[in-house]
Amino acid sequence: VYQDDAGAGFTPGPLWTAQIAPPVFRGVGFHDSDVTDIPILAQDCLWQPTLDDGTYEVWAWIPGSGGGLTLSRDVTYTINEGVIATPVVVNQETSSGWVRLGTRRFNHDALNTLEVRVTNLGPVSELGRKVYADQIRFLGATNTAINSTPIQVIARVDVPSLGGLVDRPVVV
């Protein structure tokens, strides 16, 4: 499940700005905000996806610094499973592409909904840099089962012991 910053279920803080340049985003654009070191001025972006019950890996799209973006080296994402909060620190400057948040799968059910936040609060060393918010990807459990309706046909099969091609019933 992909949760874009332009879709339902995404809420940016009031000081986060919607952007379309540079073209490093997934979907229709991205949001960014200046880093602040003053807690009362800090704001979050919030992703609240619609998910089936289960466990999920959480990934964030981060392009890394470049193209006019100077991203923070100390960005905190918080993954909430109901009342359980797991903070994950990411270096957005050197990250490039899909970045896994955390080292485990996170639970989602009716009582413990999964949501992700990113804050623009950072250390004084990051002032003058931006925090980037774009798509979040929620990867559910992999199902490797084959679910298919078998097809029964009469096919020409090469059977050397019977002298070559013969018609045989085959299930595909």
Question: Is the predicted pLDDT of residue 172 greater than 80, yes or no?
Answer: no
Question: Is the predicted pLDDT of residue 171 greater than 70, yes or no?
Answer: yes
**Sheet strands side by side (includes 136-139):** 2-3, 136-139, 54-62, 97-108
pLDDT tens sequence across 60-77: 999 999 999 999 999 999
Residues 77-95: what's their mean pLDDT? Answer: 96
Confidence of residue 146 (pLDDT cuts 50, 70, 90): low
Q: What are phi and psi of 40, to 5 degrees?
A: -70, -20
CB 32 within 8 A of CB 75: no
pTM for the model stands at: 0.81
Predicted pLDDT at 127 = 98
The letter for the amino acid at 122 is: G
Question: Is the predicted pLDDT of residue 141 greater than 80, yes or no?
Answer: no
pLDDT tens sequence across 30-58: 999 999 999 999 999 999 999 999 999 99
Predicted pLDDT at 144 = 62
Q: How far apart are CA 49 and CA 92, in angstroms?
A: 22
Mean pLDDT over the full length of the chain? 92
Question: Is the predicted pLDDT of residue 122 greater than 80, yes or no?
Answer: yes
Beta-carbon neighbour count of residue 43 at 10 Å? 16
Predicted pLDDT at 145 = 63
Beta-carbon neighbour count of residue 146 at 10 Å? 5
User: How far does Cα 93 stand from its chain's mean position?
Assistant: 18
CB 64 within 8 A of CB 93: yes
Q: How far apart are CA 68 and CA 161, in angstroms?
A: 71
pLDDT tens sequence across 96-119: 999 999 889 898 998 889 999 999
Predicted pLDDT at 170 = 80
Half-sphere exposure of 140 (CA within 13 A, CB side): 12
CB 21 within 8 A of CB 8: no
User: How far does Cα 127 stand from its chain's mean position?
Assistant: 26
Predicted pLDDT at 78 = 97
Residues β-bridged to residue 106: 56
